[in-house]
Structure 1
Amino acid sequence: MAEAKTIEGSDFLQKILDTISQPIFFKDNTGKYLGCNKAFEKFHELSKHEILGKTILDIESSKLGQMYYQQDVDLLSKGEVERRDIVFIKNDRVLMMNKNTYLNTDGSVGGLVGVINDITELKENQQQLRESQEQLKVLITSIQDMIFTLNLEGCCTGFYGQWATKAGVLDAEYIGETLHHIFADSYEEFERDIFPKVLAGQDVMYECQLGSAMGGKQAQISLSPIYNENHQIAGVVGVGRDVTVQQMVLEALRESENMYRGLVDTTPYGIILTDISGRIQIVNQQSAFLHNFDDLEEMMGKNFFSLVELEEQKRMQGLFSKVIEKGKAQKAEFSLVKHKGGSFLSEVITSSVLDAQGNPKFFINVERDITEEKSMQEVLKGKNEELHFTIAQLKVAQVKLVQQEKLAGIGQLAAGVAHEINNPLGFVISNYSTLKNYVERLRTIIQEYSNIKTVAEKINDPHLTEFVAKMNQLEKEKKISFVLEDIQDLFKESNDGLERVGKIVTGLRNFARIDQETDFQEYDLNEGIKNTLVVARNELKYCANVEENLGDIPCIEAVGSHINQVLLNIIVNAGQAIKQKQVEALGLIRITTYTFGEFVYCEISDDGVGIAEENKEKIFEAFFTTKPIGQGTGLGLSISHDIIVNKHHGEIILDSTVGIGTVFIMKLPIQQTKQSL
């Protein structure tokens, strides 16, 4: 029964051994195999039956087998428990065989047990570790900083780095010593404040002045605790870096920054730096002032677009896009908002700051308040418009004065011409009357001679008959009968001509007399029209007939010379409009006057070319003309409008159709108010 249990136990032990992946074997005290697991069979590529009861020499006949056998003999001969480790290579794998002897119950060596482990990866890791340690050593010794390690008492356990080497500080000098020679005057602070914090688990970084051993340099010291495998602090590692030059550069940078900050803050322009999304990163004092912020910090982190009026934010975003697209600064005007309400008009110049790859990283926005400037521009614009208007008025006034002087000259000339014509005309009319009387006398005598001739023809006297025949022949040759008949028509036509010349002279004298007037006086509009037609007759006789429909109207209070000027202007324009139509037949100018209420009206119409719709609103503007170059100054109707509307407080109305004709209606008050006079 006990034997059965032993066999059962041996089988169970064998099953356990077979599950182990490492080859395992055991031998007796003669070196013969007593047992092994399946991994050992696979290792030697032999079955258990081919292994048990044999020595290593039977399995491995090479020199390696002899060496293993001799090691077995030596190990078994010790007479006590002993271990032996053997490293060897098989199939490019590094293996380690661990052999241990075991004792019998009587204390004698019973045999040995062996295990083969594949330590290839272990060896590779060890090699990598050695290489890493070597590289770390090279790195530490070549680093420009000072590196040191301390134990829990603050004594140096290692000292490395080029800075220490260059300073002539040797590792051996400080092993087991504190760093009071290195830190000098700052060591007390290190020992009292800094070192305890690191031992408490804190990472500490601070700056201090080193002693003469390290050249009296300004150093940045970084200290961290070192933990053991139990996560307990076992020491301290420190890195010291020479920041003397850095401090000088930083100081210079701080001075430079303060200088530029001063420049930026004193500039009259607001400056805002934003990131690519428009988030504010930096602002100056003026920008805070413009946007009515009490503190610069209030603006930090805000979106720049929120400082722009809502309806203009898209346009500002477009400006940012344009900067990116064009690659250069862009300028535009925006309405910007103030923090506590209100807004201001600003010129904004936006440019970009590029990163190392040439991509936009920041935007610089320069703001200039142009509210007052724009207001002044509007004022100046208004003043400029007033000035232009005044200059235009002066030009018109100048031309009017010239025109009036010309008209005055024409009036004086007309008066002179009328006077020069009137004197000889008086003689002609007087002599004409006398001549007509004389001719009537001769006509009476000639009639009597005719009666005598008739009586003589009845008397039978050869001498009288011959005389009568000669007289008849002479009358026939001289056409006395025709002359006597025609002379009446000649006298009638001459009389009509003299009367017409008389009327022309009278019209010229009246036109000239009225043209000298400059004050409001009683004025007969119908008489003014007649006198004006006398002056304009030569301009009209080859292009138009004039139809006068002059009503029974009262005299009005007016400056006669001015109204005559308007009449002459419109009538001459009507004649020119008819000429421009270029038709063979004579055109028609119709002049009509009538009274309605407290006003008299004068309508002057023509059947000329008419005025285009787009020109109607400009027809009374100074210097506007539709006539060909050289035929008009563009002032006639402007002056006429001024005379009728501004000086006489009336109206001048235009109605025109292209191709049909034009009508001008003048509406004049019969009496002027006292204020207008």
Structure 2
Amino acid sequence: MPQSHHIHDSIAMRLGLALDDCFLVIDDEGMISSCNEESLVALEIDSDDLVGQSITRFLVNDSWEEMREVVLQSSTGLLSTEITLSRNTGSNLAAMAKIGILQDDETGSSYFLIFSDSSKSRPDLTSSDYTRLAEQSIQGVSILRDNRLFYANEAYARISGYSKEELLAMSGREVWQLIHPQDQQRLRGRFREYSEKGSTLPSTEYRIVRKDGEVRWVESFVSIIDFEGSPAMQSVVVDITEKKAARERAELYLQMAGVMFVALDVDARITLLNRRGREILGYKGDEAIGKTWFDHIPERFRKDVRGLFERLITGEIDQVEYSEREVLTTDGQERLMAWHTNVLRDDRGEIIGTISSAQDITEKVEAQNALKKSESKYRNLVEQSSMGIAILRGDPYKIEFANQRMAFMLGYSVDQLLELEAREIAELIPDAERDRLIDYLWACYRGTPDAEHLQTKLVRSDGAESWIEVTATTIMFRNEEALQVVVSDITERMITELALKASESKYRRLVETSPDAIILTDLDGVIKMVNDDALRLAGVEDESEAYGKTVFSFLPVEEHDRARWGMADTLSTQDATPIEFNLERPDGTIVPIEIGSAVVYSPAGKPDGFVMIGRDITQRKAHETELRAATERALLYLDLLGHDVRNQLQAIIAGAELAQSLSDNAALKEILEGVKMGSQRCEEIIRKVKATERLHVEPLRRRDISEALSESLVRFSRLHPDVTVETHIVTEKDSVILGDSFLEVMWLNLLENAVVHNRSHEKRVWAHLTENEYGYEIVVQDNGKGVPDSMKEGLFDIQRRFGGVGLHQSREIVEKYGGRISVEDRVPGVPSEGASFKIWLPKAGTL
């Protein structure tokens, strides 16, 4: 045994020798280490047979471990109880006992057991004996008899705030004034009841009023003893003010806690349910007390909960650290709860039930599930987005999330972005743009940005720069505030905008330098922009005289309806065919103009206005008048040539034929034949000229060029049966051009031109018609004398007159159809082997 134990045993032994009651010292293992003579007599045993034995050997129905546990858990460290001891002779001894802590430090624990035969009168404690024991106690001890204090130890004096002398000098009334007025009546009744019975009063809590007026809570253990030959009340008092406050705080917490507390007895009946528990389950007041807890467990796992409860009650397990399970409310709803459960034990350590705390996590779990779904949708949306998205958080900030598009735009993987430090993130922005972007992001974080978005640049991992548009907003990310940054790659858009600005600049320069008047209006004809030539044409000096006015204000009233019709037709048909108007200047001058208009569209693709291009056609009108007069004169001459001159030629031919028939002179007849043939050629020329008289008047229409060639060949063969014609036609089923009735004239002119100057004994003509992507190629070849190189270039020049009337007519017809005509050698480089005339005509719809 350690030395300190010997010292305590020695002290205890001396104390025991001074007592008239039986006295035992018991060590931490329940072994009796010391005793006094009275205990040997009472147990009818020798010292050698008692010391060193376990106390449990002498206890009949009581458990030393349970009593010791009660002492350890008691706030006073003292237990008064009745026990039954077994004597060495086999008989039992009913005794009143007090058990307390003698020593409890790092060297170990020991306890004292004072007992006396309850069947005998208690022996008196002499004042000196009692004092030696009581003065060593840490609890307040006092003896009250006849409402007077006859003894109080130092601990009692310290608790009350009075000195021992002051306490012992108090009258009975003053002694009762130590007790709080609200507790006096209750205590008087209890003291009277237990005095009459002569038994020990169970522990009682009440308030005392100290000398300084402070109110303290105490726990008192009162027993009736013999003191100097008379009954007296012995009171052992412990200051429990702090303990009481802590207990009240605990009780308040229990009721005010935001979680449910529920206590069950061993039969799973509810013995405690706090306010939050009543709110969750739907009870009022004490309605839940006594009800079976399993009625609040859903049937599907009620069996499992019963099994878990049995394991707790039987001591197989002490607690259930955490579990999630639903409970049923009184209206049948289920609430998901997070549980923590422990067993409850009484003073003897026996399990008397369970205590559970539970937090309602129904909404939390639902919110978490909804959040998971929302986060899943958010992630899917973000990952499929065509924009780069990143979430920044922390100080210094880091990228907490980035989608694949953001990683692609920066030239990194997502994992690489998440590892970047704040300095490396800042380096993703060019130096010249960095401060501006950081200021913008901080403003977005504070909710005070100057603009919804910011255009700047970023630097890819390969060093390349690209234009981006940034927007940012604060969001909650993993329960913390963060900044969500959305980035759009606008490189192509910026290139387009720069090109557009350059184009607009060129357009404006073009508009300003254009010799035509250019006007921009809205859909109602209100002028929004004009160039200088438009102002000059309108006869105004400043653009303010035009802006805001309608184009109709510059036209005579009789022209307004036609102008409105023209705008409506342009809007519906997109036809930009120019229309002639008379412009009325502010000075009253009328100027003939020609205006073409086109629809202007908004960025959304909707009609937004008109752009009108006009020009002064005063000179053109004068030329047209002159041309009309010249044409009328030409037509007059042509009419005279075709009628009067032709009649005279007929008369010459008739006279020559008559003269030939009346003369026998061969020479004269030959001369007359020459006159007749010359006249016939003149008549043929006049016929050809008259044939195309209406060439420029007749409108174009759809004509089948292959069909026209076939008809022309039939007619040509009837006129020239002695000419060999070979044809080669390679076209689609429908070979259509925009032509007129002169298409056959073109064909016949080319075919006749191939034979009229052909002096070959065997005249041959080749006609080819082929098709390409945009039109048709016509080739007419002959085996005549050909066209010398010196004449090819001017053959179709009407001023040089190398070609005949038929070729010039063919050129006019071809040009009217939008085609072209040329002449080559049939055999390249050998003009004398014949000519090859080539014509190209566009397909209908390609002009």
Does the alignment reach a TM-score above 0.5? no
Give the TM-score normalised by the residue count of structure 1. Answer: 0.39
Structure with the largest fraction of strand: 2
Q: What's the TM-score, normalizing by structure 2? A: 0.32
- Higher RCO, 1 or 2 (CA under 8 Å, sep at least 6)? 1
Larger-gyration structure (1/2): 1
Structure with greater helix share of residues = 1
